[in-house]
């Protein structure tokens, strides 16, 4: 089911800190599926639960975008546990702030731990666009929008 995307820099849902899930159950799996469908229809590279009105720690992302190894994955309770000192400035946009694209500085490499939809703990090391998308979406879980980072670039 396609969900409605929350928009606006003053949106209270987008500005709230999200809480973790206690477990991965049918609700989480259904929400992840609905979010993946919504992200696909909106032509986004990532989507966080607050963007669809739910202040819980769940994101869905496309990794390896536009390659033979493209993969859509949900990350439950993601936590970035490592940020490289090397930074890259690249243009970002957001489904919750339509039509705005600005340069944002992000770490070039990250490590993120999370639960998969089977409830198993996972750890991924990601770089470049994959790292950028995860950082952008995890920011949403903390009530941070990419426009809040513009002065840092």
Model-level pTM?
0.96
The 3-class secondary structure across the chain, one letter per residue, is CCCCCCCCCCCHHHHCCCECCCCCCHHHHHHHHHHHHHHHHHCCCEEEHHHHCCCECEEEEEECCCCCCCEEEEEEEEEEEEECCCEEEEEEEECCEEEEEEEEEEECEEEEEEECCCCCEEEEEEEHHHHHHHHHHHHHHCCCCHHHHHHHC
Is pLDDT above 60 for 153?
no
Three-class SS state of 43: coil
Is pLDDT above 60 for 59?
yes
* pLDDT tens-digit map of 124-136: 999 999 999 999 9
**Catalytically annotated residue among 86, 92, 137, 152:** 137
What is the model's pLDDT at position 1?
79
Can 137 be counted among the known catalytic residues? yes
Is the Cβ–Cβ distance between 142 and 80 less than 8 Å?
no
∠ CA 77-149-101, nearest 5°, is 100
* pLDDT tens-digit map of 98-116: 999 999 999 999 999 999 9
What is the model's pLDDT at position 2?
84
What is the model's pLDDT at position 7?
95
Write down the domain spans for the chain: 12-152
What is the model's pLDDT at position 152?
62
Q: What is the dotted CATH code of the domain comprising 12-152? A: 3.90.45.10
């Amino acid at each position: 089911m396609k969900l409605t995307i929350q928009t606006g820099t003053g949106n209270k849902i987008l500005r709230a800190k999200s809480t973790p899930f206690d477990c991965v159950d049918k609700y989480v799996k259904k929400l992840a599926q609905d979010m993946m469908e919504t992200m696909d229809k909106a032509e986004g590279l990532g989507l966080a639960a607050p963007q669809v009105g739910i202040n819980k720690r769940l994101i869905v992302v496309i990794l390896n975008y536009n390659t033979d190894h493209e993969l859509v994955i949900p990350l439950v309770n993601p936590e970035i546990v490592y940020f490289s000192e090397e930074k890259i400035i690249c243009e970002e946009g957001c489904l919750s702030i339509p039509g705005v694209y600005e340069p944002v500085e992000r770490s070039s490499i990250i490590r993120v731990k999370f639960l998969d939809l089977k409830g198993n703990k996972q750890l991924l090391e990601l770089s470049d666009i994959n790292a950028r998308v995860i950082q952008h979406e995890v920011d949403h879980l903390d009530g941070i929008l990419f426009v809040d980072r513009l002065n840092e670039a």
